[in-house]
A = this chain, B = another copy of it.
Amino acid sequence: MIPLDELVSEALHLKSSPFQDRDLGEFKTLGLIFLNPSLRTRMSTQKAAANLGMHVMVLNMDKDGWALETRDGIVMDGSTVEHMREAAAVMGEYCDILGLRSFPGLKDRDEDYSESFYRKFAEYAGVPMVNLESATRHPLQSLTDLITIKEHWQEIGKLKAGFALGKNSPKPKVVLTWAPHIKVLPQAVPNSFAEWMREAQRQGLVDFSIANPAGYDLSTEFTDEIEVFHDLETAIAGADFISVKNWSSFENYGAMPPVDGNWLLDQQHLASTNDAKILHCLPVRRDLELSSSILESANSLVIREASNRVWAAQVVLKHILQQLS
């Protein structure tokens, strides 16, 4: 694993100098393939690519009429019109880099957690891929979150200039907390957040823990080594950053088991924290997932966090371009 603090520092440098690598992307094409809706990922990645001088083509495949087949060994006499083997290979011919968004079905846990859709697409495409949110991961979001944490920690003077997170400065306490919702949502965002923050903890950058109701534990693939609380108040005591997100059950896959207690984070909860700053990947349903009073307070970093999606995408695309050239 690459040193995360270096990657974050490079992203923040790009933020201060967005057009420095324009020559790197010239004559290179990025294809963005969306099987599901997207606002932030779409716009921020488009912008990042343009900053790098790339040509971008966006393709929405979320409409009826272009259902991709993924299974092998069947006669395609049903509703799928093209096999991913051909579709991905062709897109790989047109594009130097491909980004793909494809949500999980949330019916078959093994299928979703095999990431077979994303993996097969990448294999057939044969070009470097950028994950724009797959069945079980949303890495550009997690990188954004780490960028936003470091940026804020610097701005309020808790991180000395030129130092990595956690070095010669107080180490931020970061907590991922579950939030209520009315719809069945994937675990991709919290999985990636846990995976990246666990790695950040391993590298000595942050202290990380998770709070979710019983029945909502994430896969230990992403959370082992990490303390998981089934109680919101205990978990967030002394927190510097709280990342809020709903997800459906991993254990009882795709279910929404009943929840005890109040998991809607509001201003009162912040009293026991270290004036915690609040992250959310957006879109957020106000006063269902997160209180509007927090969203409108100085504690909210959610707009900054969304804004930083550009720099997360740009640093990743830059690294890929450097390997291509």
Contact = CB atoms under 8 A, between A and B. Distances in A.
Nearest to A287: B75
A252 interface: no
Contacts of A77: 182, 285, 288
Contacts of A91: 39, 43
Interface string A282-306: 1111111000100110000011001
A230 interface: no
Contact of A86 (B86, B182, B303): B303
Contact of A94 (B19, B43, B85): B43
A43 B30 CA distance: 11
Contacts of A307: 90, 93-94
Given A282-B90, A307-B94, A47 B37 contact: no
A46 B50 CA distance: 16
A154 interface: no
Contacts of A42: 59
29 contacts: A29-B50, A37-B63, A39-B82, A39-B87, A43-B90, A43-B91, A43-B95, A50-B55, A72-B292, A75-B287, A75-B288, A76-B286, A81-B283, A81-B285, A82-B282, A83-B285, A83-B286, A85-B286, A85-B295, A85-B296, A86-B282, A86-B303, A89-B303, A89-B306, A90-B303, A93-B303, A93-B310, A94-B307, A94-B310
Instruction: List 10 tightest A-B contacts by C-beta distance, closest first.
Output: A82-B283, A93-B307, A76-B285, A90-B306, A75-B287, A43-B94, A50-B55, A89-B303, A76-B286, A37-B65
